[in-house]
């Protein structure tokens, strides 16, 4: 059936050059997600600065505060990158189990380093390897056995979170070797800049650079985008469709394993429900990814967009914590998260309908 794929409205060079300034601004805002997000980021920061100067905030929304807030950005930025890989891989790709992997891999880390007394390095390796392994189970289900991703990762979400809870009889591990890891997340002083949590540099940036190299600069990324955009055509173009899609889930698991390390260090404790408590970590991660311009139909999305989206959400949330008293701040964070998700998805739809592309 040919009618199902609505061809994007043709945009040819002539039109692009001849368009008026407002039309051009609109096109850039809709198709260049990073630009739009950067503008929004500036608006958010300026807005809260103004509120702060007007005395509407309970504490100053200053550079030091923004630097501190980055601590909560690390896990979500990493998990949003995990979702980036699986959603880009196409065929309804999504990973609901990332939070459960964070819990389970974190417990593995807690057990190895905190209970069985393994040295740090093998424990770290074990934690990340378990994450990758759990991701591989998802990948096998989705890519090789052709389970719908939503259902496969819902099932493994249940299974992994259950195993995490049972692994230490529903108790956190907070032995001295685990507590010592908290130093990983201490703030570091930088010349000319406010103190920033150490793991922004030791974990987030290296992971982001690696993900960017993989997706935007390596042949693997090309293959993944091809598979996600049109897997039949990718097959004809000699791509190994199944293997490539499988690998996206492994990478997602691997990044979740890294997040497990980060959360254990942040809490100074390996908690069996670290990634699943409340609404879990998967939901905000998917939200950030979609906000960052990752299109749910696959083949579209970039690391840069996801990072800026994570930063935007982090500083927006941080501002709202200051704007409201007590639990009200975190309440409004929910509203913002929901609205932002729906609106950014509407924006994605609009951009694809109107310009046939999104970057």
Partner 1 sequence: MSHSSPHVLLELRGVQKRYGGVRALRGADFEVLAGEVHALVGENGAGKSTLIKIVSGAEVADEGTVEVDGVPLAGGSTQAAMAAGIATVYQEPHLFGELTVAENVFLGRELRAGGRVDWTAQRTRVGELLAQIGLDPEIGDVRVADLPVAEQQLVSIAKAFAHSAKVLILDEPSAILTDREIEVLFGVVRNLRAAGVGIVYISHRLDELAHISDRVTVMRDGAVVATRPTRELSVRQVAELMVGHELSTRATDRAVPAGDPVLDVAGLGRTGAFEGLDLQVRPAEVVALYGLVGSGTSPIARALYGITPADTGAVRVDGREVRLRSPQDAAAAGIAMLPGDRKQQGVFANKSIAFNISSAHLRHLARLGFWFDRAKERSIALDFLKRIAIKAPSPDTVVGALSGGNQQKVVLARQLVRAPRVLLLEEPTQGVDVGAKEEIHRLVLELADGGSAVLVISTDLPEVLQIADRVLVVRRGAVVREFGRGASQADVLAAAAGDDGGAPAVVGARADGGDR
Partner 2 sequence: MTATATAPKQVRRRRRVRAIEGQELALIAVTGLLWVVLSVATDTFLTSGNIQNILFTVAPIALIGIGMTAVIVTAGIDVSVGSQAAVVMVVIALLVRDAGLAFVPALAVAIVSGLVLGAVNGLLVAYGGIHPIIVTFGTLNIYRFVALQIFGSEQVAGVPGTFSPIGGGAEGRLLGVPTAWWLTLVLAAGMWAYMRFWATGRHLYAVGGDALAARLAGVRVRRRQISAYVLTGACVGLAACVLIGSGGLVQQNVGSGLELRVIAAVVIGGTSIIGGRGTVLGTLLGALLVGTVTSAVTLLSWPSELTQLFIGLFILVAVGVDLLRERRRSTR
- Distance, CA of 81 to CA of 229 (rounded, Å): 18
Stretch that binds partner 2, among 16-24, 59-67, 158-166, 306-314 (CB under 8 A): 158-166
- With CB cut-offs between 5 and 8 Å by kind, which of partner 1, partner 2, none does residue 155 bind? partner 2
Identify which of residues 43 and 166 has a Cβ nearer to partner 2 in the complex: 166
Rule CB under 8 A: choose which of 147, 180, 184, 230 binds partner 2. Answer: 147
- With CB cut-offs between 5 and 8 Å by kind, which of partner 1, partner 2, none does residue 223 bind? partner 1
Indicate whether 314 belongs to the interface with partner 2 (CB under 8 A): no
Indicate whether 335 belongs to the interface with partner 2 (CB under 8 A): yes
Q: Left, alpha or beta for 277 (phi > 0: left; psi -120 to 50: alpha)?
A: beta
Residues 261-264: contacts with CB under 8 Å, at least 24 apart: 261/106, 261/109, 261/124, 261/127, 261/128, 261/203, 262/74, 262/75, 262/78, 262/184, 262/185, 262/199, 262/203, 263/75, 263/102, 263/106, 264/106, 264/109, 264/110, 264/178, 264/181
- Distance, CA of 330 to CA of 109 (rounded, Å): 29
- Least distance in Å: CB of 184 to partner 2? 28
Stretch that binds partner 2, among 77-85, 154-162, 193-201, 307-315 (CB under 8 A): 154-162
Stretch that binds partner 2, among 12-20, 47-55, 314-322, 325-333 (CB under 8 A): 325-333
Q: What is the DSSP letter of 273?
A: T
DSSP characters for 220-237? HHHHHHHHHH-HHHHHHT
Stretch that binds partner 2, among 68-76, 148-156, 247-255, 260-268 (CB under 8 A): 148-156
Indicate whether 337 belongs to the interface with partner 2 (CB under 8 A): yes
Identify which of residues 187 and 297 has a Cβ nearer to partner 2 in the complex: 297
Identify which of residues 76 and 212 has a Cβ nearer to partner 2 in the complex: 76
Rule CB under 8 A: choose which of 25, 166, 190, 205 binds partner 2. Answer: 166
Give the three-state DSSP class for 304.
helix
- Distance, CA of 331 to CA of 329 (rounded, Å): 5
- With CB cut-offs between 5 and 8 Å by kind, which of partner 1, partner 2, none does residue 5 bind? partner 1
Measure CA 7 to chain center. Answer: 30
Rule CB under 8 A: choose which of 158, 177, 182, 214 binds partner 2. Answer: 158
- Bridge partners, 107 (sequence order): none
- Least distance in Å: CB of 217 to partner 1? 6
Interface positions with partner 1 (CB under 8 A): 1-2, 5, 7-8, 10-13, 16, 217-223, 225-226, 229-230, 232-240, 299-300, 352, 356-358
Identify which of 179, 204, 7 has the alpha carbon closest to the alpha carbon of residue 110.
179
Indicate whether 283 belongs to the interface with partner 2 (CB under 8 A): yes
Tokens of 158: 């249940």
- Distance, CA of 147 to CA of 346 (rounded, Å): 27
- Distance, CA of 241 to CA of 219 (rounded, Å): 14
Give the footprint of partner 2 on this chain (CB under 8 A): 1, 3-4, 94, 141, 145-148, 150-152, 154-163, 165-166, 169-170, 278-279, 283, 286-287, 290, 296-297, 326-328, 331-332, 334-335, 337-339, 341-342, 345-346, 349, 353
């Amino acid at each position: 059936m040919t009618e199902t794929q609505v061809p994007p409205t043709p945009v040819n060079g002539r039109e692009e050059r001849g368009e008026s300034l407002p039309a051009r601004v609109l096109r850039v805002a809709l198709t260049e997600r990073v630009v739009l997000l950067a503008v929004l980021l500036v608006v958010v920061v300026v807005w809260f600065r103004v509120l702060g100067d007007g005395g509407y905030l309970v504490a100053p929304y200053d550079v030091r505060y923004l630097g501190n807030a980055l601590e909560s950005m690390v896990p979500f930025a990493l998990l949003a990158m995990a979702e980036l890989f699986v959603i880009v891989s196409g065929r309804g790709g999504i990973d609901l189990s990332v939070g459960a992997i964070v819990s389970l891999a974190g417990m593995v880390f807690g057990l190895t380093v905190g209970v069985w007394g393994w040295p740090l390095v093998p424990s770290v390796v074990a934690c990340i390897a378990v994450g990758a392994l759990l991701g591989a189970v998802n990948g096998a289900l989705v890519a090789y056995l052709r389970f719908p991703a939503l259902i496969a990762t819902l099932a493994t979400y249940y299974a992994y979170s259950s195993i995490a809870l049972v692994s230490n009889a529903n108790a956190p591990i907070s032995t001295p070797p685990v507590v010592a890891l908290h130093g990983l997340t201490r703030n570091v002083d930088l010349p000319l800049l406010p103190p920033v949590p150490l793991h922004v540099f030791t974990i987030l940036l290296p992971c982001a650079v690696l993900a960017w190299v993989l997706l935007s600069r390596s042949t693997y990324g090309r293959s993944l985008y091809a598979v996600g955009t049109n897997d039949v055509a990718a097959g004809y173009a000699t791509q190994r469709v199944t293997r490539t899609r499988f690998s996206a889930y492994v990478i997602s698991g691997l990044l979740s394993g890294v997040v497990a390390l980060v959360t254990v260090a942040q809490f100074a404790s390996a908690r069996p429900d670290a990634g699943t408590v409340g609404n879990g970590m998967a939901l905000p991660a998917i939200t950030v990814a979609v906000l960052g311009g990752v299109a749910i139909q696959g083949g579209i999305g970039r690391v840069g967009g996801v990072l800026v989206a994570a930063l935007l959400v982090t500083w927006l949330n941080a501002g709202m914590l200051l704007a409201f008293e007590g639990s009200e701040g975190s309440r409004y964070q929910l509203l913002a998260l929901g609205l932002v998700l729906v609106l950014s998805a509407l924006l994605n739809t609009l951009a694809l309908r109107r310009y046939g592309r999104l970057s």
